[in-house]
Amino acid sequence: MDNSAPKDSASHAGDLMLKAARVLSAHGHDDFNQGQISVRDQQSDRNRILIGRASTSFHSMRSSDIISVRVDAPAVPISCPAEFCMHAALYKSRSDVNSIVHTHSLALVAFGATDLPLESYSHEGAIFSGKIPRFIETSQTVTSTEQAERVAAALGDSDVVLLRNHGVVVVGSSIKAAVVRLIILERAVRINLAMRLLDTSMGKSSDEDDEAKRRFNFDEFAIESYWRSLVRDVSSNVVS
């Protein structure tokens, strides 16, 4: 459960979503127009979220692509992406979650197709070492409320759930926390996959080092600084 990052101001949430979308694109999370980022309206209605409309790509998202929808809406607007139900179920089950990112990144799809634990071979590995929850009921797009509720159950009180042969869902207390966590996870998984190619069990960092890294490398200030670095790299691509 994540309490490390500041809460998003609703007035800036759309701007943060555009920046986050460009960061996700720059870091390999585009899958044509698949995947979504969403954020809870923390200012006026916590049952309402902002999310990119159906078929919006991370690399080309504009403010006009962002829609506002209640997670308990009796009828989901046709402009919503099919996997809106997954976002809705997760927000309803986790009051601490204020942002959700779902992508089909190559490394995370590959790793999620296995039962491997994530080993701590790097700074990034320290934060996720151990078994990452997996949703294994289906590898298809999650389009029903019932399935979405079971994704929420698979996530539990974790910050990450891998959707087998499909993708990943990462949650956070803010857009910054969710996006930085996903970028860090992707790096950790890539290093794990590279280590599998080396066919060696050597190279893991110690439990003592991992504990220190979790405190120092991924606290509130570190997340803010990583976010600023990520956004600076894509600032010329953000168009409102």
In the complex, what is the shortest distance from the CB of residue 102 to Zn ion, in angstroms, rounded to a whole number? 6
In the complex, what is the shortest distance from the CB of residue 64 to Zn ion, in angstroms, rounded to a whole number? 23
Q: Which is nearer to Zn ion, 52 or 167 (CB)?
A: 167
Q: Which is nearer to Zn ion, 139 or 217 (CB)?
A: 139
Q: Which long-range contacts (CB under 8 A, 24 or more apart) does 234-237 make?
A: 234/19, 234/22, 234/23, 234/25, 234/26, 235/19, 237/22, 237/25, 237/26, 237/59
Q: Which is nearer to Zn ion, 49 or 127 (CB)?
A: 49
Tell me the torsion sign for CA atoms 5, 11, 17, 18: negative
> What residues contact 188, with CB distance under 8 A and at least 6 apart?
118, 121, 122, 124, 125, 127, 128
Q: Which is nearer to Zn ion, 20 or 127 (CB)?
A: 20
Q: Which is nearer to Zn ion, 125 or 167 (CB)?
A: 167
SS3 state at 5: coil
Q: Which is nearer to Zn ion, 80 or 195 (CB)?
A: 80
Residue nearest to Zn ion (CB): 167
> What residues contact 9, with CB distance under 8 A and at least 6 apart?
42, 43
Residues making contact with Zn ion (CB under 5 A): 167
How far apart, in whole angstroms, are the C-alpha atoms of residue 134 and residue 28?
A: 21
In the complex, what is the shortest distance from the CB of residue 82 to Zn ion, in angstroms, rounded to a whole number? 8
Q: Which is nearer to Zn ion, 142 or 223 (CB)?
A: 142
Strand order in the sheet with 99-103: 66-70, 48-52, 36-40, 99-103, 167-172, 160-163, 134-135
In the complex, what is the shortest distance from the CB of residue 117 to Zn ion, in angstroms, rounded to a whole number? 23
In the complex, what is the shortest distance from the CB of residue 150 to Zn ion, in angstroms, rounded to a whole number? 15
In the complex, what is the shortest distance from the CB of residue 222 to Zn ion, in angstroms, rounded to a whole number? 29
How far apart, in whole angstroms, are the C-alpha atoms of residue 113 and residue 165?
A: 5
In the complex, what is the shortest distance from the CB of residue 68 to Zn ion, in angstroms, rounded to a whole number? 21
